[in-house]
Amino acid sequence: MFSDELNALRRMGLRQALLQALNFCNVIASGLMMWKGLGLITNTESPIVVVLSGSMEPAFYRGDLLFLTNPVNEPYLVGDITVYKIPGEEIPIVHRVIESHYMADAPLNQEVLTKGDNNPQDDILLYKNLKWLERQHIVGKVRGFLPYVGYVTIAMPR
């Protein structure tokens, strides 16, 4: 099976093989540029995330693809669904804001408390040594979703 592809590559010739490799690199580079461009437009490091758990059911289910923005001049309101990352943790968490307060009357100096819709209590235990989430921990606000489209990434082996 693999030997057939290797033979086809040998028949292709050096010039054609290099052209194929260059086209492949072009596709990869274009995808990365689109990802970074989307991140700049939405002001978030991760403009698209996949729901990995059932903590937000029935709003979002495992495998739903979420589209995020991180508005600079807009505070997070109670009821907004946010994606946040705890320092030292790799996997972002998708939960709803249940409380919010401002530090020194500045709307951009905000702290929030979150909770999964399907969880019995708030996320304060998930925050480790933090009492509230600060804006710097929030990856973005959910603006839209596609149901089950991201399930492919969950099914792939790590």
Strand ranges across the sheet with 110-115:
48-50, 65-69, 138-146, 81-84, 93-102, 110-115, 133-134
Strand-pairing partners, residue 142, are 68
Instruction: Point out the catalytic residue in the list 55, 64, 100, 137.
Output: 55
Q: Which of 156, 105, 104, 101 is nearest to 134 (CA)?
A: 101
Does the annotation count 117 as an active-site position? no
Does the annotation count 123 as an active-site position? yes
Instruction: Point out the catalytic residue in the list 64, 95, 100, 137.
Output: 95
Tell me the two tokens of residue 66.
Answer: 């979420």
Q: Are 105 and 86 in contact, with CB atoms under 8 Å apart?
A: no
Q: Which of 135, 136, 129, 100 is nearest to 115 (CA)?
A: 100
Instruction: Point out the catalytic residue in the list 64, 100, 123, 137.
Output: 123
Does the annotation count 46 as an active-site position? no
Q: Are 60 and 51 in contact, with CB atoms under 8 Å apart?
A: yes
Could you list the active site residues?
A: 55, 95, 123
